[in-house]
Amino acid sequence: MLADAKIPEGYVRVFRRPDSMSDAPYTYCPGCHHGVIGRLVAEAIDELGIRGRTVGIAPVGCAVFLYRFYRCDFVQAAHGRACAVATGLKRANPDLIVFSYQGDGDLAAIGTAETVHAANRGENITVIFVNNQIYGMTGGEMAPTTLPGQRTVTTPEGRDVRATGYPLKISEMLAQLDGPAYITRQAVYDVRHVQMARRAILQAFRNQLEGKGFSMVEVVAACPTNLKVSPVDGNKWVTEQALRYFPLGDLKVRDR
Amino acid sequence: MRVLMRGNEAIAEAAIRAGCKCYFCYPITPQGELVEYMARHLPQQGGVFLQAESEVAAINMVYGASAAGVRTMTSSSSPGISLKMEGISYLAGSRLPAVIVNVMRGGPGLGNIAPAQGDYFQATKGGGHGDYRLIVLAPSTVQEAAELVMLAFDLSDHYRVPAMILADGMLGQMMEPVELPEPVDEGTILEKPWALTGAEGREPRVVLSFDLDPQGLKEMNLTLQRTYREIEAHEVRWEEVDTADAEILLVAYGTMGRIAKTVVRLARAEGIRAGLLRPISLWPFPYEPIRALAERIPVVLTVELSAGQMWEDVRLAVEGRAATPFYGELGGVVPTPKEILSEVKKHAR
């Protein structure tokens, strides 16, 4: 077990897996941002001491194996339905801390209705929304958040907005509603932003503990595999392309 | 004490008495009174009533509540049930108990709001994707509807298989005196050692309907199939009326089963020895009882509010032992006992 690896004499362990994470190896590709985001979720769960009452919801997509990576209860939801499943769990047992972890295809295409209405009801849940502008697991098809001109396997000549519309700005949409407590957009392409995303995810869980209601952290992420670029260039893609359409920052913060 | 209740209301009240803690819905006719009744009464009993944004969302809320370990239900009518099929398949695959009420109406498509039985295939053969079954119970009176709702919760918990109450618009809308079942003692509801309650002091639990490894998924499927064989062995339910000396056997369920009872009486008044077998569990289907009767009754007439869906199961049961004519009505048209009687006369010697 990695976590129990013997520390040689004279060495001090300064970095380890969060307690909420299991020893299961990640199934993500090199350079994928899921790994960092998943760890930030675990750190938040550790910091708030809520592992024993947390139930996670794994989506359909690259994070479908999410349940393997955590040491808390988990349920896997149908594609797009995580916010409805979260609603059922939380309403059935309000003592649970319920979070969903969803990609852009899951949350912003097939699950748009479930997401919008859970947000509008102000469901007291935490949603982690990983926006990497592509369907990763199925092989790189156009996502609702795919950028104009971006080549995918279903937009081989680049996304033509006249035919397929524009990147869906779901956080901006949800921020217009009265229901949500906290809507923010973050990124993890460098250390500073990892720290900012960490604070946002912590806040989104803290809101649930305090009963503030629907909190969503969108993380603009890179999928180097389907962009067909190196991990470093994946980070560049985020800063030079994606953030032009998805500017970072808090979109809604309700302080009660 | 007997009270006068609409079928939809009796189903709702029975669910509350069965310990249903979370009910999720989307409005549709002809089951509107069920939704209204739950909205008025479930929160008063400490339960959760939530009107979802769609049938798809409602069934997935059921999925979440069931995973949390509470008794949970949703109800709808035919087009809405079609929308729920994705979630029902997930419930079946994840072995989550739940009760789904289908107050059937005319179809396909938008159809109409009149009583029909066109969802038999969908209910009894799985309905959604994958190799799965639902426990399907078909009441023919308001009293039986209330009782079968209680039973559906128990069976669903016991076998970890979703259960469906398959009613129709006529049963949902009609009012009858009903002796409501006693509320269950919450302490007697089956413990759920698989429920997601937080991993404090124990190993984490997961609720999944998938396994990417074919061998693993095969094992999951074999578990389901073993459960289904057990249900087939223990949970077949049916009613027989005047079958002992019958020369023609009617097979009908739900509202049609009730009309067929009248037909049996009318036929006997005219000297035709008619009998009735009314399946109460549509899955598991009473193949054996029908087969046994077909050994000695030469004509087995299936009567349905469909183009002949249960008829296929009746023929599977009879397997050529008797003639198997069919009489059905479509589109929400309900035949009168006299119309069916003339059909009986046609086939009885």
pLDDT in tens, A175-198: 999 999 999 999 999 999 999 999
Instruction: Report chain B residues whose CB lies below 8 A from the CB of A71.
Output: 199, 204
> How are beta strands A97-103 and A54-58 bridged, if at all?
parallel
Break chain A into its structural domains and give their ranges: 2-253
Question: Which residue of chain B has the CA closest to A116?
Answer: B53
B198–A55: do the CB atoms touch at under 8 Å? yes
**Model ipTM value:** 0.96
Please check whether residue A136 is in contact with residue A113, taking contact to mean a CB–CB distance below 8 angstroms: no
For range A15-37, the mean pLDDT: 95
Q: Is the pLDDT of residue B6 over 90?
A: yes
User: What is the torsion angle, in degrees rounded to the nearest 10, for the CA atoms of residue A252, residue A77, residue B89 and residue A93?
Assistant: -80
Instruction: State the average pLDDT for chain B.
Output: 97
What pLDDT score was predicted for residue A255? 74
At residue A125, the pLDDT reads 98
Nearest-neighbour CA in chain A from B111: distance (Å):
25
Q: Convert the pLDDT of each residue in A207-244 to its tens digit.
A: 999 999 999 999 999 999 999 999 999 999 999 999 99
In angstroms, the separation between the Cα of residue B166 and the nearest Cα of chain A is: 24
- pLDDT single digits (tens) B203-235: 999 999 999 999 999 999 999 999 999 999 999
Query: Would strands A54-58 and B175-179 be described as parallel, antiparallel, or unpaired?
Result: unpaired
Classified as helix, coil or strand, A169 is: coil
Q: How confident is the model at residue A144 (pLDDT cuts 50, 70, 90)?
A: very high
Instruction: Check residue A15 and give its pLDDT.
Output: 87
Query: CATH 3.40.50.920: which residues of chain B?
Result: 239-347
Residues forming CATH 3.40.50.970 domain(s) in chain B = 2-187+222-234
Give the model's confidence band at A1: pLDDT under 50 very low, under 70 low, under 90 confident, else very high: very low
pLDDT-derived band at A7 (thresholds 50, 70, 90) equals confident
Closest CA of chain A from B228, distance in Å: 23
pLDDT tens figures, B272-304: 999 999 999 999 999 999 999 999 999 999 999
User: Closest to A113 (Cβ–Cβ): which among B57, B72, B210?
Assistant: B57
Question: Which among B206, B208, B220 is the top mutation candidate for probing chain A, defined by the most A β-carbons within 10 Å of its own β-carbon?
Answer: B206
The answer to whether A85 contacts chain B (CB < 8 Å) is: yes
Non-local (6+) Cβ contacts of A240 within 8 A are none
Q: Given this model, what pLDDT does residue A3 score?
A: 52
Contact in structure between B313 and B124 (CB atoms under 8 Å): yes
Its sign, for the CA torsion A23, A26, A32, A38, is negative
Q: Which of A51, A54, A88 sits opposite B65 (nearest CB)?
A: A88
Q: Does A71 touch chain B (CB under 8 A)?
A: yes
In the structure, what pLDDT confidence band is assigned to residue A5 with cuts at 50, 70 and 90?
A: low
**Phi and psi, residue B263, nearest 5°:** -60, -40
Query: B181 with B145: CB under 8 angstroms?
Result: no
Is residue A2 scored above 60 in pLDDT? no
Per-residue pLDDT for A154 more than 60? yes
The pLDDT value recorded for residue B72 is 98
Q: Which of A20, A22, A55 to mutate to test the interface with B (most CBs of B within 10 A)?
A: A55
The count of residues in chain A is 256
Question: What value does the mean pLDDT take over residues A33-62?
Answer: 97
DSSP string, B14-33: HHHHTT--EEEE---TT-HH
Of B21, B61, B207, the CB nearest to A84: B61
Q: What are the CB-based long-range contacts (under 8 Å, 24+) for A206-212?
A: A206/A48, A207/A126, A207/A181, A207/A182, A208/A97, A208/A98, A208/A99, A208/A124, A208/A125, A208/A126, A209/A48, A209/A50, A209/A97, A211/A124, A212/A124, A212/A181, A212/A182, A212/A254, A212/A256
Pick the CATH number of B2-187+222-234 from 3.40.50.880, 3.40.50.970, 2.40.30.10, 2.10.69.10: 3.40.50.970
Examine the pLDDT at B123 and tell me if it is beyond 70.
yes
Q: Determine which of A1-15, A38-52, A80-94 has the lowest per-residue pLDDT on average.
A: A1-15
Q: A117 CB near a chain B CB, below 8 Å?
A: yes
Asked if A100 has any chain B CB less than 8 Å from its own CB, the reply is: no
- B239-347 maps to which CATH number? 3.40.50.920
Spatial distance between the Cα atoms of B335 and B316, rounded to a whole number of angstroms:
25
Q: What is the pLDDT of residue A74?
A: 98
* Domain A2-253, CATH class in plain words: alpha beta
Interface residue B193 vs chain A (CB under 8 A) = no
Q: Residues B26-52: what's their mean pLDDT? A: 97
Residue owning tokens 């960490």? A198
Determine contact, residues A179/A122, Cβ cutoff 8 Å.
yes
- Cα→Cα distances A103→A60, A100, A176, B123, Å: 8, 10, 21, 33
Pairing outcome for strands B274-279 and B238-241: antiparallel
CA of A170 vs chain B CAs: smallest distance (Å): 18
**Which residues on B lie below 8 Å from A75 (Cβ)?**
63-64, 67, 94, 196, 206-208
Q: For chain B, what percent of residues have pLDDT higher than 70?
A: 100
Judge: B22–A96 Cβ closer than 8 Å, yes or no. no
Chain B contact set for A92 (CB, 8 A): 21-22, 48, 64-65, 68-70, 72
Contact A117 B53 (CB under 8 A): yes
Residues of A in contact with B68 (CB under 8 A): 55, 88-89, 92-93, 96
Fill in the amino acid letter for A173.
M
Residues of A in contact with B22 (CB under 8 A): 88, 91-92
Closest Cα in chain B to A22:
B204
Tell me, yes or no, if B43 comes closer than 8 A to chain A by beta carbon.
no
Interface of B with A in 49-78 (CB under 8 A): 50, 52-54, 56-58, 60-70, 72
Cα dist. A239→A74, A184, A256, B250 in Å? Answer: 33, 17, 33, 73
Confidence band for A85, pLDDT divided at 50, 70 and 90: very high
